[in-house]
Amino acid sequence: MLTDHFRPQSFNGIDDIVIVGGGLAGLFCALKLSPRPVTILAAAPIGHGASSAWAQGGIAAAMSTGDTVEKHVADTVAAGAGIVDEKMTRMMVAEGPARIHDLLEYGVPFDRDLEGKLILSREAAHSERRIVRVKGDMAGKAIMEALIAAVRNTPSIRVIEGYVVEELVREGRFISGVVARPDAGQSKTRVSFPARAVVLCSGGVGHLYAVTTNPWEACGQGVGMAARAGAIIADPEFVQFHPTAINIGKDPAPLATEALRGDGAILVNSKGRRFMLDIHPDGELAPRDVVSRGVFDEVKAGRGAFLDCTKAVGKHFPDMFPTVYASCMAAGIDPVTQPIPVAPAVHYHMGGVLTDGEGRTSIDGLWAAGEVTSTGVHGANRLASNSLLEAVVFAARIAENIKGTLPAPKLTEWGDNAGENDDPVTVEDSPPFKRLRGLMSECVGVVRTRESLLHAIREIAELERVNTRLRFANIITTAKLIAVAALQRAESRGGHFRADCPAERPEWQRRTYLTLAQAERLAAEAAETEPA
């Protein structure tokens, strides 16, 4: 029995929509719902615990002369390794320019030329220049700052910070609210938030792994919560590793944006050899999974991997990429004259809670947007800068769908219920969580095998057996879904690479759909398999 799973205290308030998460998807959805009353529950001060704020590249949108929706769709499909949902992708790409204009209206200072036109850059696997940026590598920060200001100035939006949502409340077919723990998850009591509509925007899974570019809050809780409530999870095995995290021992790892390679930076090993040209004809601009494995192999072989920007960017580095420049200089590396040491790090999860074109999950009353979801637009490998695009497009569609489904707010006073006391919870620094992160990196990382995945599933089962915390149960549920799906997919495709099955297989050119009950059955079968 989980010791912190008890009848919570309820919160006095009036509302009928609760958004879980204060990242790009959550804030954008709240603004689009305005003037409808909405509550945002954020684990950290909005903008501080969100991967969106750390996004360096920008947003992809087909807005340049000569670019088209079809070209953007084609690039997305090619990167997604055969399992992209083309209908969903076309819808997302078609709505991209309108969402860029929304962001401009909210005050996002996208880069413009002297004539006032948006400056568009190119990133890996894009056939055209279509990345809208801010000061080179500050798009995420600038977008979040603008949206936070807009949210703070919108009376219909209530932001409650420092509340870690631990549970989705299900009554029959419907999600009827959430349960959260205040004080950044350290409170002894929990608080219930009843709602007619819950929008899950809780972010990704990066901190399931030992090396990641994501903030601490991105530890897979949202996927685990939804799965435990009965939602269908799609494509959990597809984890994207960014090939150029700055390898200086920091957690999270600072990121050397892909835009550097788009502007001509090259990858070399300690001998100065440019190794990516031996692996893929596009070299450094190959799909991320290919570049990640190339970097991984050099690091594992002891030759190291370095991003050399000295010729392509050189003296312009401080002005063009101030975030990366600051991270390097803080570590004693001058990227103007020195190559930057890099390593692959978990950056994005293509899998997540299955949603349709309106952001609806498989459970009534629950919508989801952003990295916690799997809409099908990323397939097995996300195209660079499509993630922020996906977040704003589907957040806007959710707002429209809720307005149509629940046309009038139902304002209800929430009564008081006495909460039970419980010990404060510290999951993220606990030995079991550290053990899980090491296990996921070692066995369910850039390169996987049947034996490594079987070992991971057995270890996850042991961690589950001794766990008494609901929050860790959510986290480890997500880890189990990823490992089980990776074991079942006996091929290599996109971000999922099996060294024992290195080729794509036609019978696996399909998406993965799992419930928690199915994953538990498969995990039990795997745990009984004899080690080699």
d(CA 114, CA 128): 21
Inform me whether the pLDDT recorded for 1 exceeds 60: no
pLDDT score for 394: 98
Question: Mean pLDDT over residues 464-478, rounded?
Answer: 94
pLDDT band (50, 70, 90) for residue 345: very high
Lookup result for tokens 């002369």: 65
Write the DSSP symbol of residue 478. H
Q: Is residue 488 part of a domain?
A: no
Query: pLDDT tens, 329-339?
Result: 999 999 999 99
The DSSP element (H or E) to which 203 belongs, if any, is none
pLDDT band (50, 70, 90) for residue 51: low
Inform me whether the pLDDT recorded for 57 exceeds 70: no
Same structural domain for residues 319 and 396?
no
Reference 381, options 251, 284, 523, 286; nearest CA is 286
pLDDT score for 408: 75
pLDDT band (50, 70, 90) for residue 30: very high
Higher pLDDT, 517 or 420: 517
Summarize the chain as % helix, strand, coil (round to 5). 40, 20, 45
Q: What is the pTM of this model?
A: 0.90
Strands 157-161 and 131-132 turn out to be unpaired
Q: Tell me if 304 sits within 8 A of 270, measured CB to CB.
A: yes
| Number of domains within the chain | 2
Q: Is residue 12 part of a domain?
A: no
Same structural domain for residues 155 and 39?
yes
Higher pLDDT, 217 or 287: 217
Q: What angle do CA 309, 125, 333 make, to 5 degrees?
A: 20
pLDDT band (50, 70, 90) for residue 217: confident
Higher pLDDT, 58 or 349: 349
Inform me whether the pLDDT recorded for 2 exceeds 50: no
Same structural domain for residues 193 and 304?
no
> Residue 498 catalytic?
no
- For the chain, the maximum distance between any two Cα atoms, rounded to a whole number of angstroms, is 68
d(CA 357, CA 401): 10
Question: Mean pLDDT over residues 349-355, rounded?
Answer: 98
Same structural domain for residues 52 and 155?
yes
d(CA 257, CA 245): 8
Same structural domain for residues 195 and 285?
no
Inform me whether the pLDDT recorded for 458 exceeds 80: yes
Question: Mean pLDDT over residues 10-22, rounded?
Answer: 74
Inform me whether the pLDDT recorded for 160 exceeds 70: yes
Radius of gyration of the chain (CA): 22
pLDDT band (50, 70, 90) for residue 54: low
Residue type, 43: A
Same structural domain for residues 331 and 389?
no
Percentage, residues of the chain above pLDDT 70: 91
Q: Tell me if 244 sits within 8 A of 342, measured CB to CB.
A: yes
Identify any residues that bridge with 364 across adjacent strands, giving them in sequence order.
174
Same structural domain for residues 64 and 209?
yes
pLDDT score for 140: 80
Burial class (CB in 10 A: 0-12, 13-18, 19+), 517: exposed
Q: Is residue 419 part of a domain?
A: no
Identify any residues that bridge with 20 across adjacent strands, giving them in sequence order.
41, 200
Residue type, 485: A
CA 290 to the chain's CA centroid: 20
Inform me whether the pLDDT recorded for 417 exceeds 80: no
Can you read off the two tokens belonging to residue 125? 């696997």
3-state SS of 137-181? CCHHHHHHHHHHHHHHCCCCEEEEECCEEEEEEEECCEEEEEEEE
Reference 260, options 248, 276, 244, 247; nearest CA is 244
Q: Is residue 511 part of a domain?
A: no
CATH classification of the domain holding 183 = 3.50.50.60
Question: Mean pLDDT over residues 174-179, rounded?
Answer: 95
Same structural domain for residues 188 and 314?
no
pLDDT band (50, 70, 90) for residue 436: very high
Reference 28, options 397, 354, 385, 384; nearest CA is 397
Same structural domain for residues 149 and 263?
no
pLDDT band (50, 70, 90) for residue 427: low
Same structural domain for residues 69 and 24?
yes
Residue type, 326: A
Inform me whether the pLDDT recorded for 415 exceeds 50: no
Phi first, then psi: give them for residue 18, nearest 5 degrees: -120, 130
Which residues make Cβ contacts (< 8 Å) with residue 429, sequence separation at least 6?
Answer: none
Inform me whether the pLDDT recorded for 280 exceeds 90: yes
Burial class (CB in 10 A: 0-12, 13-18, 19+), 266: buried
SS3 8: coil
Higher pLDDT, 73 or 408: 73
Helix 450-466 and helix 516-527, axial crossing angle in degrees, nearest 10: 110
d(CA 254, CA 248): 8
Question: Mean pLDDT over residues 123-148, rounded?
Answer: 87
Query: Residue 192: which domain range?
Result: 17-214+358-405
As a whole number, the mean pLDDT across the chain is: 91
Same structural domain for residues 377 and 290?
no
pLDDT score for 528: 85
Question: Mean pLDDT over residues 98-103, rounded?
Answer: 96
pLDDT score for 530: 67
Same structural domain for residues 322 and 277?
yes
Q: Tell me if 512 sits within 8 A of 234, measured CB to CB.
A: yes
Among candidate residues 122, 190, 288, 448, the one labeled active-site is: 288
Q: Is residue 184 part of a domain?
A: yes
Inform me whether the pLDDT recorded for 212 exceeds 90: yes
Question: Mean pLDDT over residues 21-44, rounded?
Answer: 95
Number of H helices, E strands in the chain: 15, 20
Q: Is residue 440 part of a domain?
A: no
pLDDT score for 56: 64
pLDDT score for 411: 58
